[in-house]
Structure 1
Amino acid sequence: MERVKFTSEFIFRASPNIVYQFLTDPACLTRWFCDEVDINDSTYTFVWSGSPEAAELIEDSEADMVRFAWEDADDEDEYLEFNITKSPVTGETIVYVTDFADDDEVEDQKALWETQLTRMRAEMGG
């Protein structure tokens, strides 16, 4: 099965700083992304239904971009990235999520991110 990189775009009314907080702060992450999270240095251990998944925070540019590398990834070139920009025209904050999936699971992964980021938007009030 071939792994494919894909990017999805999401629009928020919240500021880039608030969006960044929801992508990096444990109290915010548990509101939309995972059940629990533990941070030790640059290692984030996310827990879903009792199953932990560790990721290294490999790039962090406050209010601009966050990139994680999953410790159990088969390909060391794969990552999960949240790129945050502000539209100069509308003033809205745009989040680009870049992830990897098997070629036959890309649409399912996109749907999952749609669900997750919709939840994040609701939790931050827009």
Structure 2
Amino acid sequence: MERKKIHLEYLLNATSKSILWSAISTPTGLEGWFADRVQSDDKIVDFFWGKTEKRTAEIVAVRAYSFIRFRWLDNEIPREYFELKMTNSELTNDFVFEITDFAAANEVDDVRELWESQVETLRRTCGF
């Protein structure tokens, strides 16, 4: 099954880099838009959706106020990850929120739609 790397970018008129960083890197922040509940034990993070769905990820890389990269522990392809990254647009002084993820070739559109929905929730909950 062919896998595709997905790279998405969203311009956020974020007034505070600490608000965006908190939203993408802390359990409380991630609960606001990514998952219903998030528990973290150092580098291992449990994500919960609804009453029964749970996935566990490992934080494989992080640079404060820049990016956080997770790897799903149930993923059989060790090189795959999902990354949440924030950069500052020098032109507008707004933030660019970048997402990198992987999906089966026949699921790319579904994964893009899911991220679109998640980012809309992020915009609403953080006021971006």
TM class by smaller structure:
over 0.9
TM, length-normalised to structure 1 = 0.96
Partner residue of 2:106?
Answer: 104
Which runs of 5 or more structure 2 residues have no equivalent in the other structure?
A: none
State percent identity of aligned pairs. Answer: 33
- Is contact 1:16-1:85 (8 Å) kept? no
Offset from partner CA, 1:38-96 (integer Å, 9 cap, x none): 10111010011222100001111111011001100010000000121000000110011
Please, which of 80, 95, 101 is the counterpart of residue 97 of structure 2?
A: 95
Offset from partner CA, 1:13-53 (integer Å, 9 cap, x none): 11332211001222221111111111011101001122210
The AA in structure 2 aligned to 1:41 is: D
Partner residue of 2:37?
Answer: 36
Over aligned residues, Cα RMSD in angstroms? 0.9
Distance 1:4 1:106 in 2: 7
> Structure 1: which 4+ aligned runs deviate by more than 6 Å?
none
Aligned residues: 126
- Is contact 1:35-1:46 (8 Å) kept? yes
Partner residue of 1:24?
Answer: 25
Which runs of 5 or more structure 1 residues have no equivalent in the other structure?
A: none
Of the structure 1 ranges 39-48 and 22-31, higher mean CA displacement relative to structure 2 is found in 22-31
The AA in structure 1 aligned to 2:64 is: E
